């Protein structure tokens, strides 16, 4: 359905269609390694921080511990690198409007990175310029009950927003498809989605942005991620990131209790 496109031709076509911002090519990212290492922090490997009091959102993690709970480029192995900025397709394809009820809320959450309904407490992006995909990972800052409410809402989307249309800021019509995606059995509650946004540029070329979305609650804390790109987006990287993220957050939480 989607034609193979040389990188140069892809960039020129997307620029002509208004899908690429000037100077944004370096922000494209991600290759998915066949085998990802699973390094986990331990009390010995993470610098001690003062014990944090319980926050309004229920978390007992200090700001330093929340940062330590983020994924790093070494977690998924080479050639993953720190992000150079938001992927250029974010403005071109995610900044869109629809009249399909809750589906606008989904588009807004994807574009703003407020996947759990509010600004993240800590966030990181990983890129690989070879494949045009990007992984964005965040530690949430909401109470467990609010996170569970957001997870319940995400679970409804494969029915409420199974297929709908949206219009980008440049006037391109998008066909959007949302399906449920399985996640590793980690944490206390979780929800995964796979989202495809397809559009046809003015030159007649078809483009499809594929995004994995995952959100997980681990006790009083939570994390969410998107893994997306133009073309094939293997689910392996999403699965690895969810598993590593949950184990790391669990370990950091244990460390916090040990310091009290």
Please report whether residue 81 resides in a domain: yes
For residue range 173-227, list pLDDT tens digits in order.
999 999 999 999 999 999 999 999 999 988 898 999 999 999 999 999 999 999 9
For residue range 108-126, list pLDDT tens digits in order.
999 999 999 888 899 999 9
Looking at residue 51, its pLDDT comes to 45
Greater confidence (101 vs 2) lies with 101
Instruction: Report the CATH number at residue 110.
Output: 3.40.1000
Among 183, 225, 231, smallest CA distance to 210 is for: 231
- Contact, 223 vs 140, CB < 8 A? yes
- Contact, 100 vs 55, CB < 8 A? no
Q: Where are the beta strands (DSSP E) in 36-186?
A: 81-82, 96-97, 122-128, 133-139, 163-168, 173-180
């681990």: which residue's tokens? 218
Looking at residue 257, its pLDDT comes to 55
DSSP H or E run through 223: strand 221-230
Looking at beta carbons, which pairs linking 162-166 to residues 24 or more positions away fall under 8 Å? 164/98, 164/100, 164/103, 165/98, 165/100, 166/96, 166/97, 166/98, 166/100, 166/103, 166/107, 166/197
Q: Where does the pLDDT of residue 58 fall: very low under 50, low under 70, confident under 90, or very high at 90 and above?
A: low
- Contact, 110 vs 120, CB < 8 A? no
Please report whether residue 14 resides in a domain: no
Please report whether residue 21 resides in a domain: no
Sign, CA torsion 111/112/118/123: positive
Looking at residue 256, its pLDDT comes to 61
Please report whether residue 71 resides in a domain: yes
Please report whether residue 157 resides in a domain: yes
Please report whether residue 234 resides in a domain: yes
Please report whether residue 105 resides in a domain: yes
Q: Residue 82 forms beta bridges with which residues?
A: 126
DSSP H or E run through 246: helix 236-259
Distance CA 13, CA 6 (A): 11
Number of domains in the chain: 1
Sign, CA torsion 109/188/137/47: positive
Write down the number of H helices and E strands in the chain. 6, 9
What range does the domain containing 136 cover?
Answer: 43-259
Per-residue pLDDT at 146 exceeds 90: yes
Please report whether residue 25 resides in a domain: no
pTM: 0.77
Report helix, strand or coil for 67.
Answer: helix
Mean pLDDT of the chain: 79
Bond prior to 79 in cis (omega within 30° of 0): yes
Instruction: Please state the rounded mean pLDDT for residues 119-136.
Output: 85
């Amino acid at each position: 359905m989607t034609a193979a496109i040389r990188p140069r031709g892809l960039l020129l076509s997307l620029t002509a269609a208004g899908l690429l911002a000037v100077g944004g090519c370096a922000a494209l990212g991600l290759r998915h390694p066949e085998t990802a290492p699973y390094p986990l922090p331990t009390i010995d490997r993470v610098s001690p921080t003062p014990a944090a009091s319980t926050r309004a959102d229920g978390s007992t993690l200090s700001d330093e511990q929340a940062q330590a709970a983020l994924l790093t480029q070494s977690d998924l192995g080479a050639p993953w690198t720190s992000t150079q900025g938001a992927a250029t397709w974010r403005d071109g394809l995610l900044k869109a409007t629809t009249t399909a009820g809750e589906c606008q809320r989904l588009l807004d959450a994807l574009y703003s990175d407020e996947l759990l309904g509010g600004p993240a407490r800590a966030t990181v992006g990983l890129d690989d310029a070879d494949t045009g995909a990007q992984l964005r990972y965040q530690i949430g800052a909401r109470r467990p009950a609010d996170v569970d409410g957001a997870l319940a809402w995400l679970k409804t989307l494969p029915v409420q927003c199974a297929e709908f249309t949206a219009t980008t800021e440049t006037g391109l019509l998008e066909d959007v498809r949302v399906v449920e995606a399985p996640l590793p059995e980690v944490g206390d509650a979780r929800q995964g989605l796979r989202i495809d946004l397809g559009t046809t540029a003015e030159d007649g070329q078809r483009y499809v942005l594929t995004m994995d979305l995952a959100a997980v609650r681990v006790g009083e804390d939570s994390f969410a991620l998107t893994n997306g790109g133009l073309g094939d987006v293997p689910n392996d990287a999403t699965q690895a990131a969810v598993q590593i993220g949950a184990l790391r957050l669990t370990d950091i939480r244990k460390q916090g209790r040990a310091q009290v």
